Structure 1
């Protein structure tokens, strides 16, 4: 029998099936069909009573039990679906079951467990696009970017028209500092009207790199509507509003990012700079201290602490922190700004803000742990302007 394709046909099929069930409520074929049709109509709430009835009538039927897990998954009840899939997978080695379980594990934040689940099937030829995408995301999340990139390169020719795969690939590339590949993948993912979340985030990040705050905001806000619990989107919104000098909004967004990503050092540093540019030095110090707790060997954090100390006039603390920053990285951007503050070269608050906003706008600060290299060029230009403006010596 040919499957119905339109919503109207599916609805008619569902209604007719449910009417038959009233006369024969324990008919396994009808229960199965009612569940499948409701899921096809994106109506898991309508499928649930049929799933409960089916499991009650046929508790040991693997297909029925699997359908109940599908209903839970469609309702995003991952913690209820996962053990059902795991139990079935223990009995039946099946790649589709493994994918269903791994999907639950990813949504539960169990990325390594998802990779372990998929390991027996990962090397199979011609994996479905959804499976490859899940693997790319999971490897990315656990920090195995080389393996994620390997999967992308192996499958790109075959999956180049799949926007979700291309979007996940764009995120892996940008976090691997492969900007050209990230641009290419993001553009391809967005080329035909689809709006996958990773491609939006990458495209917005590239807007930030080009100091296009409005373009970044529009795409980060669109991404936020798709997943309001994604910390890096809140981070990006905060960075874009920093660029627009809307410090109050930026601070709220960066605080939300820090709640969702409490160990993300770049977010704490960005929050500190946001407070610093609002001339709230004690609050800035709190954010930088949190960064220091997470990693005591990051030059930018020590440089930022030096800058706060310099601005509040505590020269000895500033010099000590600056020494640590420059020992860790002689090209430390925040340390360079701190030295300018100690030497009285920052000028008025507007110039200081313009300089530091440049330092917080780029991709490395958004997704990594260092400020954008562009800041060094900006600071060099500021120094040259100051030197050219100085009166000639007698």
Structure 2
């Protein structure tokens, strides 16, 4: 605890001794105790107050509940105050909705406040809500002029990575990590960059370090799952990817990756369930349509698969899953056409510096060495 925080706590304790019914003082004191990681002190301050509850006490209780991860309690406490224009209410309620994966509710809570009046934490929260709703460009625009902290810069790095502007993502991630070597999103970008150049050992170390700090990081579990896939450890990959879909239930790419692992592991019924989840979340995402087609091909339901792969290729002519499903179907009917599709497939990028062909070649070489 810094001397300035200690002094502030002593000051507010003094204020409270003269005015024990002042809920604004209680709120400020609770916020200070949480900042110093002493939630039991915050609880003591709240529990000693027995008079009528007002917005400041609701905020104090919500801040403690949020600190403890009780997001349903935060919603219950603050829903009655949604008409009050108070940034703390907006922030705590939106944070609770985000952690509950209720992204529309988080967005609706945040949009009542003009962006120019938001503090940096609230603006970052708004960017996270937009990101989870698929509005990546809007999230970037929200943060681009506010690159004032490691968290802002690191989150921008992740946003640029998601739109495959890898060069900018690397520059931003390096900048964020120079300020804070443990910055979460910048570390995630760094981990995926290491994975993309096949530096599996360093990537694994990076994702393991992230998970020690944030065990519910869906992105870090995704990276771990992809590493296990590369190492042909399918059971570990499936376990990691189930964590990913638990913590990022609205991320279709994670469901599609889990689907692929389940298929390779011959768990066809579970693969179909996972593919349906990905498709329900993002029916306009070509890979979700294509993944459903692949599952049906593995189940010898080729006629059903045709509608899905065709929709995938209508959405994106370079859909990896759509082209692979098309190849599986044509391989039975027209080997020459299938070969043309196969060649197109080999040149499609999976991620930065990685094509389907390069992955297959690497795996073939690995098998020959063994």
- Same fold per superposition (TM over 0.5): yes
Measured after TM superposition, the shift of residue 282 of structure 1 is: 6.8
Q: State the Cα distance separating 1:62 from its structure 2 match.
A: 4.5
Deviations 1:60-82 (A, max 9, x none): 55444433333333333333334
Does the CA contact (< 8 Å) of 1:52 and 1:68 recur in 2?
no
Is 1:134 aligned to 2:125, yes or no?
yes
User: Which of 106, 120, 137 in structure 2 is aligned with 1:114?
Assistant: 106
Whole-Å Cα distance in 1 between the matches of residues 359 and 31 of structure 2? 60
Residue 300 of structure 1 corresponds to 290
CA RMSD of aligned residues (A): 4.3
Question: What does residue 163 of structure 2 align with?
Answer: 176
Number of the residue aligned with 1:255: 242
Give the corresponding residue for 1:221. Answer: 208
Alignment of 1:1-394 (within 5 A): 4-5=3-4, 13=10, 17=13, 27-28=20-21, 32=26, 35=30, 37-54=32-49, 56-57=50-51, 59=52, 62-88=55-81, 90-91=83-84, 93-124=85-116, 127-156=118-147, 159=148, 162-262=149-249, 264-278=251-265, 287-288=274-275, 295=283, 298=288, 300-301=290-291, 304-305=294-295, 308=298, 317=301, 321=305, 325=309, 328-329=312-313, 331-333=318-320, 335-336=323-324, 338=328, 362=351, 374-376=355-357
Report the structure number with the largest CA radius of gyration: 1
Q: Distance in 1 between matches of 2:76 and 2:293?
A: 48
CA distance in 2, matches of 1:69, 1:327: 46
Cα deviation for residue 375 of structure 1 reads 0.7
The answer to whether the 8 A contact 1:254-1:270 is kept is yes
Q: TM-score by structure 1 length?
A: 0.68
Tell me, what secondary structure is at the counterpart of 2:180? coil
Distance in 2, Cα, partners of 1:100 & 1:210: 39
- Alpha carbons 2:222, 2:244 under 8 Å: kept: yes
Structure 2 distance, partners of 1:82, 1:287, is: 30
Instruction: Please list every run of 5 or more consecutive structure 1 residues that lacks an aligned counterpart in the other structure.
Output: 344-355, 364-371, 386-394
**Cα drift, residue 100 of structure 1:** 3.4
The superposition leaves residues 174-214 of structure 1 with CA deviations (integer Å, 9 ceiling, x where unpaired) of 22232222222222221133423222222212222212222
Alignment match, 1:346: none
Query: Matches of 2:137 and 2:119 in 1, distance apart?
Result: 21
Moved more, 245-254 or 255-264: 255-264
Q: In 1, Cα distance between the equivalents of 2:207 and 2:227?
A: 9
Distance 1:263 1:183 in 2: 25
1:242 shift after superposition:
0.8
In the TM superposition, residue 374 of structure 1 has moved relative to its aligned partner by: 0.9
Q: CA–CA distance in 1 between the matches of 2:173 and 2:349?
A: 23
